[in-house]
Amino acid sequence: MTSEPLPLAFEGIPLGLLPGAGRRGSDPNAVFSLEVRPHETVVVLGDETSGVDRLAALALGLDPAPAGRAMVWGTEIALLSRVRQLAFRRRVGYLPAGDGLLQNLSLRDNIRLPLRFGSDFQPDDIEGRVNVILAQLRLKAVAHFRPAAATEEERRRAALGRALAFDPELVILDQPFDGLGERVAAELLEVARGGDVAEGGHRTVFITGQDLPAKLRPRVERLIRLGAVPAGVHA
């Protein structure tokens, strides 16, 4: 009997050996392991010395793990060829810290870009999908704004829209709620989860950050705090 690979798994990642760890004063003996099951919403919190800000990049293979493994659907993205890495990442929705929107494109074009670049959809289908995302994230009125002209909340909404462009099964959100109010954060989390199914959210959601608004905690299946245990964090 074969079991389906987990959407996301970290195995024995030494947080103290990640880039910048010495500068951050991380415990060199701390290792991080975590399994994220389908339809779960899992949040990992930690301060800036904990290494929590590196987990998303490890999962997506943007940074290599110094030891241990970070796997998405059983695959270590960092070990794939560059072409396969890029193709694999299109299966994962990712909202980077800050937002990572391209400043020379409008919010609409930022959401449209991954669809235009990485899919064979017809232009009309792409427009339809983008319009649905804009409506879902209440961005239609400001869709023509460049990121510099939009508010922080609008930029974060657009970045989430870009992450959801391919309607991925797994969404990784890196510090998504920093600077946002509880109501907006709760709304964005609901959009990221994509509604509810019997097992939890429609999508599997992995969130990293320094804090989580209290209003969101009932919607989270598991919340893990890094740094609470001095050495060896096992979830």
Partner 1 sequence: MFEAFAAIGRGTTRRFSALGGPARFAFEALAALPSLPGAGRRVAVRVLLNQLRFTALQAVPLVILLSGVLSFVVIQTTMQTFSGLNDFVGTVMVVTIVRLLGPLLTALAVIGRSGTAITAELATNTVMGEIRALEAIGIDPYHYLVLPRLAGSVLSVTVLIVLFDVVALTGGWLATSVNQASGGRYVANVLAALDTSDIVLTVVKGILFGAIIGLLPSYHGLKVSRGPTEIPQAVTRGTVASIGSIFVITAILMLLFRA
Q: Which of residues 116-175 bind partner 1 (CB under 8 A)?
A: 116-121, 162-163, 165
Residue 66 touches partner 1, criterion: CB under 8 A? no
Residue 62 touches partner 1, criterion: CB under 8 A? yes
Whether residue 174 contacts residue 208, with contact meaning beta carbons closer than 8 Å, is answered with yes
**152-163 vs 123-136: helix axis angle to the nearest 10?**
130
Residue 203 touches partner 1, criterion: CB under 8 A? no
Handedness of CA 86, 4, 202, 58 (dihedral sign): negative
Q: Which of residues 77-96 bind partner 1 (CB under 8 A)?
A: 82-83, 86-90, 94, 96
Q: How far is the CB of 235 from partner 1 (least distance, A)?
A: 24
For 48-74, b/e burial (b = at least 16 CB within 10 A) is ebbbbbbbbbbbbbebebeebebbbbe
Between 86 and 186, whose beta carbon lies closer to partner 1?
86
Among 94, 79, 86, 42, smallest CA distance to 207 is for 42
Residue 215 touches partner 1, criterion: CB under 8 A? no
Q: How far is the CB of 83 from partner 1 (least distance, A)?
A: 5
User: Which member of 38, 68, 100, 213 binds partner 1 (CB under 8 A)?
Assistant: 100
Half-sphere exposure of 104 (CA within 13 A, CB side): 0
Among 68, 5, 58, smallest CA distance to 232 is for 68
Residue 3 touches partner 1, criterion: CB under 8 A? no
Between 40 and 53, whose beta carbon lies closer to partner 1?
53
Binding site for partner 1 (CB under 8 A): 57, 60, 62, 82-83, 86-90, 94, 96-104, 113-114, 116-121, 162-163, 165
